[in-house]
Amino acid sequence: MSSFSKSGIYRLDSNNSNNHIIYFIDPVRILNRSYTRFQVSPFKYYSRFLKPKHEQGQTRDSENLNKKNRKKRKFHRLNERELVADQRHQEARSLLLNAHEVLLRDKEILSVLCNLRDDDDVCCLSGTKDGPCFIEHGSVWQAPMYEICLHFCTDDGGSALVQFDQQQVVPLYNNLIINDTSEDVEAATLDNCYIIPRESCFHMSNLEQLHALVPDKPDTGFNLIVIDPPWENRSAHQKSVYPTVPNRYFLSLPISQLTHTQGSLVALWVTNREKLRRFVEKELFPTWGVSYKAVVYWLKVKVDGSLISELDLFHHRPYECLLLGYRHGKGMDSEPLTTKSLPENQVIISVPGDYSRKPPIGGILNLHFSVVRELLLDYAPGPKPARCIELFARELLAGCTSWGNEPLHFQHSRYFLSD
């Protein structure tokens, strides 16, 4: 438990003969390992599931309406594709039920869950106002003129003596912006303040500019590539949270060029739609030269430990899948070598953050927390620590390059606690 409070990762005792690996994770604790001076606000991260006290116990009319609609939908006859999806679900079902039961038996973790919110955690750095929309600003003709001012500042551990205090003003878009110091950096752009974690970098640009991240030398490529594409789906479209992209565009993502000479572990988030799973298995992975290896299930729970929706609800499963595969490096004609082989059927349990936000399981340079590396980093081929890139990112992590059209989204100071 003491290691969990620092690492945010807790291995639950699966207690069955199949030896499935089940983790409970607290994304806020994991993210906080990326920061030296700032702290992510649990209240902001979990805002969908932590209602203010006066709203607790109340159910909104719209929620009730949705529940009714879902109940109606449950009884429709499944078409051929849905039957295959259902078959897939049945295969995962007992594993997920077991993982959930294991969680509910663990009193310590249940008490962590109901205390995720710190009572004093109401005061964020700069109020509740949304930041600017990077997607919109990035698409106007003025985009090349927008700048970001990074304030590098290192003190000598509390005394008034500042050792290093420097500002750097650089273009905001289509530019690789790096914080290679071991301290967080505050940055100002478009009249808002952002927190850039230690040893992180980002490139805010559109799909057409992704090639800018292809390394000049293949041995500076990436060993871990985490991808969360803006898949076309009704939910993202209806909520218009971000633009989506037709599947065929992802075929030309430069996965082989981004891969390190010694190969990469590719981790791809997918939705539960069967059409998409088929596309990934039959077209996308083969086109990228990725050989499929394993699936990680992300099971989503509320702060009382219950699932966010019924396990068998067809269109609203309480889980998502992360597909893992290996891509060999240039000049290699077989699969990359790794010291550990990927376990089949891992389950990661957590309380979800904002819409479509995934738990942070990529980078984070912090080698003394070995349990963290168990999630993905340990399975990446090539030199250690693995070089990590996240594609279509909305946040930054220490030890990782984040790319997308809004990688600063969750770096806004409103998502952080003030001292």
Amino acid at 85: A
E strand segments, 93-191: 147-155, 162-171, 176-179, 185-189
Question: Does residue 135 bind ligand SAM (CB under 6 A)?
Answer: yes
Residue 139 CB, nearest approach to ligand SAM (Å): 10
Residues 6+ apart with CB under 8 A from 76: none
Residue 356 CB, nearest approach to ligand SAM (Å): 5
Question: Does residue 176 bind ligand SAM (CB under 6 A)?
Answer: no
Euclidean distance between CA atoms 4 and 312, whole angstroms? 31
Tokens standing for residue 210:
């992704």
DSSP 3-state of 350: strand
Please identify which residue in 27, 131, 197, 230 interacts with ligand SAM, judged by CB under 6 A.
230
Question: Does residue 247 bind ligand SAM (CB under 6 A)?
Answer: no
Euclidean distance between CA atoms 292 and 406, whole angstroms? 29
Please give the size of the binding site for ligand SAM, defined by CB under 6 A: 17
Name the H helices within 162-292.
234-239, 247-250, 255-258, 274-279, 285-288
CA dihedral for 43, 47, 52, 58, sign (positive or negative): negative
Which residue stretch of 11-19, 100-108, 328-336, 390-398 sits at the interface with ligand SAM (rule: CB under 6 A)? 390-398
| Closer Cβ to ligand SAM, 96 or 393, answer by number | 393
Question: Does residue 405 bind ligand SAM (CB under 6 A)?
Answer: yes
Question: Does residue 412 bind ligand SAM (CB under 6 A)?
Answer: no
Question: Does residue 406 bind ligand SAM (CB under 6 A)?
Answer: yes
Question: Does residue 356 bind ligand SAM (CB under 6 A)?
Answer: yes
Residue 326 CB, nearest approach to ligand SAM (Å): 21
Tokens standing for residue 342:
């990927």
Which residue stretch of 78-86, 116-124, 301-309, 401-409 sits at the interface with ligand SAM (rule: CB under 6 A)? 401-409
DSSP 3-state of 339: coil
| Closer Cβ to ligand SAM, 115 or 139, answer by number | 139
Residue 99 parent element (H or E): helix 80-105
CA distances from 393 to 12, 360, 402 (A): 28, 10, 6
Euclidean distance between CA atoms 239 and 135, whole angstroms? 15
Please identify which residue in 16, 98, 192, 206 interacts with ligand SAM, judged by CB under 6 A.
206
Site string for ligand SAM, 295-334 (x = CB under 6 A): ----------------------------------------
Contact residues toward ligand SAM (CB under 6 A) are 135, 206-207, 228, 230, 242-243, 245, 356-358, 392-394, 404-406
